Chain A
Amino acid sequence: MSGIVNGTVARITFRATMGRKRAFLFAIPPVILLLVTAALKLAKPERASWPADILGVFGFSVVLPLTALVIGTSVLGAEIDDGSIVHLLATPVRRSSVIITKFAVAAVMTMIFVAVPELLAGLIATGGVTRLAVGVFAGALAGSVIYNAFFVMVSVLTTRAIAVGLLYLLVWEGLLGNLVSGASELSIGQYSLGLANSIARDPALNAHLTLTTVIVGGAIVTVAALAVAIRRLGAFSVKGDAA
């Protein structure tokens, strides 16, 4: 029996995801983040909280969730869409191993495309290894993990994963998260910001949750999402010609 992460599945997933044209899309948000940060640094804004604004608000409510959405829904969703998943599932590889591997690849790619640029932007904005730079880096690492577990699950549950994911981000995190206080306790964005804030301790990050809530909530969401995805993939059905 192989380990939890299957090397062959990981390599194919990585090549498939990076080989698609939309891989260029992954690079656009982090490039914008870095350019805007550098421009602001040169412009020297009067507002003292600008580094937390750009890293926290833009970074955590736009760059992180959107990049995770695109990557998380494509590592497995693209194969389900074009049917090539059948070749993978027509082998004895455990379905848990497929899900964990796809999730791990997505999480690592999101870390590369978001967490690392967040750290670099933090270093640029604050002029060194500050609490804010390290905080947003840690928050983005955590967000890469939790968001991708969630989006991989969505891609197994529905063929309209991007739409469902966007709906979650806009309605749940964007709208309800600001209007209903309880919604933020089930918001992956708030988990990420909460972790960032536990290190950065910057009110401008607009984090609402305590570190304990963040760790417990984030762990539960991650584990539950992966469990649902594994269970659903085990019952993967090909659409019949009579359907």
Chain B
Amino acid sequence: MTSIEVRNVSRWYGNVVAINDISMSVGPGVTGLLGPNGAGKSTLLHMIAGFLEPSRGEVTVAGEPSWRNAGLFRTVGLVPEHASVYAFLTGAEFVRATAKLHELPDPAAAARRAIAIVEMADAQDRKITTYSKGMRQRIKVAAALVHDPGVILLDEPFNGMDPRQRLHMMDLLHGLGAQGRTILFSSHILEEVERLSGTIQVMVSGRLAASGDFRAIRRLMTSRPHVFLVRTSDDRLLGARLIGRPAVTGVELTARGLQVRTSDYGTFTRELAGLTRDAGIRLRELLPADESLESVFAYLIAS
């Protein structure tokens, strides 16, 4: 069963296109929405949660349109990134109030259960003002879980968390996904998505760049052409040697050094040391020229 269905959705602000014709289906389990900052991940999540109207296209959750549909939140839990929490309440009061807003039959019990899931029982009677960022994030997750939703949307849930809190949150989301819930979370950090989800949706500049199994996409990412900047005692000589190697697809002499293109990351990096030693060239510097996440994503769009 597909829980979230996004069909040909675009969203623009004046002349700026934030989301460009995206279609995706998200089913039970954990799905990561990966992309660099400003790719439109939050915009898409907000449209799925009904907090933004698509300029074009349609978003449905569990078969219902999400825009102008407050009833949607009976089956959806949302953990927003920026929204501040009612800091004057204690954690327990906040989660209990949310339970009451959902009109649950036993709000106190539901709140206790949700707080236990995020392991915040010890701090639940402290005011939210005194919480660390990670604790705030967890209490927001508890509030989003209090009505036992089948679909949970999280916007950058790991932001501001220390490594231990991250691991805990990952375990938590993994467990929720294993229970058959549909978990969709956004992140701009590859490793977070890698650890947590088998399925990913990659967004770049408002478009869906890749979609599907993480390992396949990861392979695509590592087998793409790489560009290195090499500085040596004799760039021209090294360039002549390199162009004879099958793993090298291009060499260019530049003012900053030798720019080398390779189609095979592993082979090139293994061969380079031996090649320079045999030619009697001194290797001064070796820099990956395009390792930013943006360039990885840009490659994904092109392929």
Mark A residues whose CB is within 8 Å of B.
2, 6-9, 11-12, 15-16, 19, 82-95, 234-238, 240-243
Contact = CB atoms under 8 A, between A and B. Distances in A.
B16 A242 contact: yes
A16 B103 CA distance: 21
Contacts of A242: 13, 16, 18, 38, 40, 43, 206
A11 B89 CA distance: 11
B52 A237 contact: yes
A92 B68 contact: no
A91 B84 contact: no
13 contacts: A6-B101, A16-B88, A19-B88, A87-B98, A90-B78, A90-B144, A91-B101, A91-B102, A237-B53, A241-B37, A241-B38, A241-B41, A242-B16
A235 B84 contact: no
Question: Looking at B53, B78, B83, B102, which has the most chain A CB atoms within 10 Å of its CB?
Answer: B83
Given A235-B68, A240-B11, A84 B85 contact: yes
Interface stretch (B69-77, B108-116, B118-126, B288-296): B69-77
Contacts of A89: 51, 70
Given A19-B88, A238-B51, A242-B43, 12 more contacts: A12-B89, A87-B85, A87-B86, A90-B49, A90-B144, A91-B73, A91-B102, A93-B70, A95-B70, A236-B51, A240-B18, A242-B16
A238 B52 contact: yes
B53 to A, nearest CB: 7
Residues of B contacting A: mostly = mixed
Question: Looking at A7, A83, A84, A86, which has the most chain B CB atoms within 10 Å of its CB?
Answer: A86
B73 A92 contact: yes
Contact of B42 (A2, A94, A241): A241
Given A84-B83, A238-B52, A8 B74 contact: no
B84 A240 contact: no
A92 to B, nearest CB: 5
Interface of B: 11, 13, 16, 18, 37-38, 40-43, 46, 49, 51-53, 68, 70-74, 76-78, 80, 82-86, 88-89, 94, 97-98, 100-103, 140, 143-144, 206
Contacts of A93: 70, 101
Contacts of A95: 70
Contacts of A82: 83-84
Contacts of A11: 97
Contacts of B140: 87
B46 A240 contact: yes
Contacts of B77: 90
A227 B84 CA distance: 27
